[in-house]
Every structure is written in structure tokens, then in C-alpha cells.
Amino acid sequence: MGELQFKGALKHDSISGYLLKNDTLKVGKLSGKLSDESRLNYTQLYSQTLRLVQEHIYNKDVLMSKKWMGFQQNFKSLCAKAQDDLELFIGFSTYRSKLPFSHFYLIMQEEQDSDTIASEKAVHFEEKPNGIGYLKIDNFSTSAEELKEIMPRIVEKAYPHLIVDLRNNSGGGVEAAYAFASHLVNTNTDIGYFTTNRFKFESFDTNTFNQLPEVEPETTEGFIAYLMQNDGAKMIVKAHQNEIFSGQLYLLTNSNTASTCEPIVYVLKALENVTVIGESTAGAMLSANYFELYGKYKLVIPIADFFTMDGERLDGEGVQPDVLVASDSAMVKTLQLIQGH
């Protein structure tokens, strides 16, 4: 989703640091010298950013918070003095990290090589001794086709134990999430509620929220387009004809298990055959959309909030594991549980 942050140091006219996912996972290094060659009128960028946020933010009440007011003041000052894009992006990332909501980013317009993306495997399966299957899912962005292929094979093998590793999986789209979940549940399953700023409520109330239409989106793009035009939706996974996995399921999570992963973990955790092991998930669960700025930038804005069926907000909270252990120890602990230690 382009959800990267920068942490580094500025010295004279040079800067260096790391690109991070969810503020902790290093995914790249960046360095360079400051220049004003690509400088636009950032004051206009500031005004356009605020206009888009005010129009599309999932809940306009958050714009009344002290943290948002502080961000707005800092960003305005940044846009008045920033000398180039690098300074602008680093400043934006620093200030937005203090906000009380996720999925808010300023990124560069870039053309992605779809062939390159598709060629990178996102799903890895290994058959371990003693009837244990191990499935590592790197993301839910590019893994849909791989999951459609591997999940039926896993179900057919009828492993007594299946370990699904979602550590460092920062989320993605509904296509891959459904390709995974549809082989784990065989009844209509309520995932939760998405609410936009058109949906008026004071606090969570089941009767009020159940007025939202049930939706089982086929694509992420289609679901985002739906949310852009409506009050919200009650997301469901309908019963499919798929054979489902009936053994013991272990989900490994850490603080970088984010976004699309989190409702899945929350719903599956309630099943009798599921144990969640590791760390609390990231608490970064909002639905976001991209908005173009001057043909050069994209602003990512959270357009819909998410509530579980029992009224829990996952953004800023995350999902607690059944067995709390450090991320690096989750696999060892899972094998110990399977072996009865």
C-alpha cells in the first residue's frame, strides 16, 4: 500500500536513514543531499491536503483533537520552509506518526512494474515432521492466486496441525484474505463493520450498525469505490462449497501484523481450533484510499473506520494473542505446544 515511514538524521546538506513499515520493520535505506530542483509550491500542497482530509477522513471528530491540531500547525510550518521533496516527506512522516489514527501517508506517484511484483512469491509452504504444515504469508497484496492454489492442497492433506505465519504481514487486499479465510470457515461469517463519515452515530450500537448493508466484496478496488459513495458496510464471508481445514490452527503474529490481517486474526481467534501465538498485532486497521496531488504526489487518507461485530475498534489497539511471547520465539513456542510441552 506504500505505507512506509522514514527515520534518519540530517547533517548539514546530507541526510540518511531507513524506510520502515509500521514504524519498526526496516525495508530499505535512503540517503542523499538536499536540493530545491524539484520544489513545488508546498503552501498550495498544504491547502489541498487539508481540503482532501476534511472531505474524506473516516470520522471528522478526529480533526478536532489536539493531536490533529498540532499536526496541522506543524505541517503548515513545514510547507512554508521545506526546500525539497525529501525534507517535505521526512517532516510529514515525522508529524503524522504522532496522530491517533493509521493509514495516513504522503507518497510519490510511481509506476509499478506489475510483472516484477507478480514474480515475487508471497506465500511459502513447508511440510514439517509429525503432521505439521507451515504456511508463511508475506502479504495479502499479491498473494491471492498463490493462496487459491495452496489452500485446497493443504485442506486435502488434512494436516493435524497447521501453523500460519503472519508475522511482518502488513496486510493488503480482500481478494487474498478471502482466498485464505474461505478454506477455514464453512458458515456465513461476519467480519465486522466499516463506517465512513456519512454514517452518523454517537457510540457503538448493534441495532444501528446492523442497518449497514451486508457486503462480500470481490475486489479491493470495488470495495473502496463502494465506501467512497456510501455510509459503510457490514463485511461478511459467505459459506462456500470449499472443503475446510479441520485440524488445529496456529496463527503467529507480531507488532508488524497489520491492516487486513487484523480482522482475520480477530475472527479466527474465536474458533475452538485456533490459537494465536506471538505479539499483539499492529493496531493499524482502517480502510484507506489514494488521492492525487498535482500529478506528482499521492495522499493516502483513511476513509472508513472498522469495528468488530462486538464493537471493538482495532485501530490503535490491535489483537492480543492467546499466548504472548516475543516474535522471535513464536515458532519455537508453537512447536512446544504441539508437542505437549
pLDDT in tens, 113-170: 444 345 589 999 999 999 999 999 999 999 999 999 999 999 999 999 999 999 999 9
Q: Residue 297 burial (CB < 10 Å; 0-12/13-18/19+)? A: buried
Distance CA 65, CA 50 (A): 15
Residue 235, pLDDT above cutoff 80: yes
Mean residue pLDDT of the chain comes to 89
Q: Which three cell numbers, joined as nine digits, stand for 233?
A: 458496510
Distance CA 248, CA 3 (A): 33
Distance CA 160, CA 329 (A): 22
pLDDT at 186: 83
Distance CA 90, CA 11 (A): 14
* 255, 265 Cβ separation under 8 angstroms: no
The boundaries of every CATH 3.90.226.10 domain in the chain are: 117-288+304-338
Residue 215, pLDDT above cutoff 70: yes
3-state secondary structure 3-47: CEEEEEEEECCEEEEEEEECCCEEEEEEEEECCCCCCCCHHHHHH
* 190, 218 Cβ separation under 8 angstroms: no
Strand, helix or coil for residue 107:
strand
Task: Name the phi and psi angles at 90, rounded to 5.
Answer: -65, -45
Over range 200-223, report the average pLDDT: 95
Q: What is the DSSP string of 171-220?
A: -B-HHHHHHHHTTT--S-EEEEEEE-TTS--SS--HHHHTTSPEE--S-H
Report the CATH fold assignment for 117-288+304-338: 2-enoyl-CoA Hydratase; Chain A, domain 1 (3.90.226)
* C-alpha to C-alpha distances, 181 to 26, 153, 212, 244, 261, nearest whole angstrom: 28, 14, 22, 9, 11
Distance CA 104, CA 108 (A): 14
In this prediction the pTM is: 0.86
pLDDT at 114: 44
Left (φ > 0), alpha (ψ -120 to 50) or beta: where does 45 sit? Answer: alpha
Instruction: Using DSSP bridges, classify how beta strands 105-108 and 297-307 pair: parallel, antiparallel or unpaired.
Output: antiparallel
User: Hey, what amino acid is at 334?
Assistant: T
